């Protein structure tokens, strides 16, 4: 069965420090992986995706994510956190043959000044 | 990327009534999804609404409770029927463009 795990309900990081939000997945075919961000009282915004190619993908707002096939992970990273990065982050996956996304539970990222 | 608008942005409704949520896209899209999200929680897919075919509902969701229309490639409606407080949630429409999925701003529904 296809699934996505975000093992941390909440991640706390000091402003200026690097951040990592973890995501692992299970999918039967080739994975299409996505990160979305949701700011308070806002809709979901697409951050970045991995379909194929370079394992390190760069996205919006300085975020990047690394696809690791052997560990079935797609962790979201940013070298230097901003207070404005505080939001709810969702990892999602689908296989190439199906447009329906499987969603993680979400990780609340709190950046403290 | 597709720009999606939803109406209303929020509403407070009495139990037993129905609310129709509209979703408008600025481009023609084949695939559209309707989701439900409790605040601070993950998304639950209600149904897939493709133009020219009946909506496909996920387990736990039925057409009588959540009828969907998809009259053309830029518009869809989701009706929440005979509402109860358990229907209080955020309802999101979403479209597929290329390999990515984009979301509307959501409709925050409170049922009293």
**Structure tokens of A92?**
């999602």
Q: How many angstroms separate the CA of residue B77 from the nearest CA in chain A? A: 18
Cα–Cα separations (whole angstroms), residue A16 to A19, A67, A75, A80, A87? 9, 24, 19, 5, 16
pLDDT > 80? residue B111: yes
Is the pLDDT assigned to residue A30 strictly greater than 90? no
Residue A4 has pLDDT above 80, yes or no: yes
The mean pLDDT value for B77-87 works out to 97
Among A77, A86, A76, which residue's Cα sits nearest to residue A113? A86
Model confidence band, residue B31 (pLDDT cutoffs 50, 70, 90): confident
Q: How many residues does chain A have?
A: 113
B106 in contact with A, Cβ within 8 Å: yes
Per-residue model confidence as pLDDT tens digits over B38-52 = 988 999 999 999 888
Residues of B in contact with A3 (CB under 8 A): none
Instruction: Name the pLDDT band for A100 (thresholds 50, 70, 90).
Output: confident
A83: tokens are 């207070």
Report the chain B residue with the minimal C-alpha distance to residue A34: B100
Asked if B40 is an interface residue toward chain A (Cβ–Cβ < 8 A), one would say yes
Inform me whether the pLDDT recorded for B5 exceeds 80: yes
In this predicted structure, what is the pLDDT of residue A84?
95
Q: Does a cis peptide bond (omega within 30 degrees of 0) precede residue B8?
A: yes
Work out the percent of chain A whose per-residue pLDDT is above 70. Answer: 100
Kindly report the average pLDDT of chain A as a whole number: 94
Which pLDDT value is given to residue A62?
96
Given this model, what pLDDT does residue A104 score? 96
Between A94 and A96, the higher pLDDT residue: A94
């Amino acid at each position: 069965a296809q699934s996505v795990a975000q093992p941390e309900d909440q991640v706390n990081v000091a402003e200026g420090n690097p951040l990592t939000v973890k995501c692992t997945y299970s999918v039967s075919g080739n994975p299409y992986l996505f990160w979305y961000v949701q700011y308070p009282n806002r809709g979901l915004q697409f951050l970045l995706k991995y379909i194929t190619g370079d394992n390190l993908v760069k996205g919006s707002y300085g975020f990047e994510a690394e696809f690791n096939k052997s560990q079935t992970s797609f962790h979201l990273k940013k070298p230097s956190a901003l207070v404005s990065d505080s939001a709810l982050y969702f990892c999602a996956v689908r296989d190439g043959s199906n447009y329906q996304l499987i969603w993680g539970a979400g990780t609340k990222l709190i950046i403290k000044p | 990327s597709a720009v999606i608008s939803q109406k209303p942005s929020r509403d407070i409704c009495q139990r037993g009534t129905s609310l129709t949520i509209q979703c408008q896209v600025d481009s023609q899209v084949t695939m559209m999804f309707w989701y439900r999200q409790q605040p601070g929680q993950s998304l639950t897919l209600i149904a897939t609404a493709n133009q020219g075919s009946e909506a496909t509902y996920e387990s736990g969701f039925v057409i009588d409770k959540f009828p969907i229309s998809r009259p053309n490639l830029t518009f869809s409606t989701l009706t929440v029927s005979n509402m109860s407080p358990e229907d209080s949630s955020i309802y999101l429409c979403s479209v597929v463009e290329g390999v990515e999925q984009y979301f509307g701003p959501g409709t925050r529904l409170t049922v009293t």
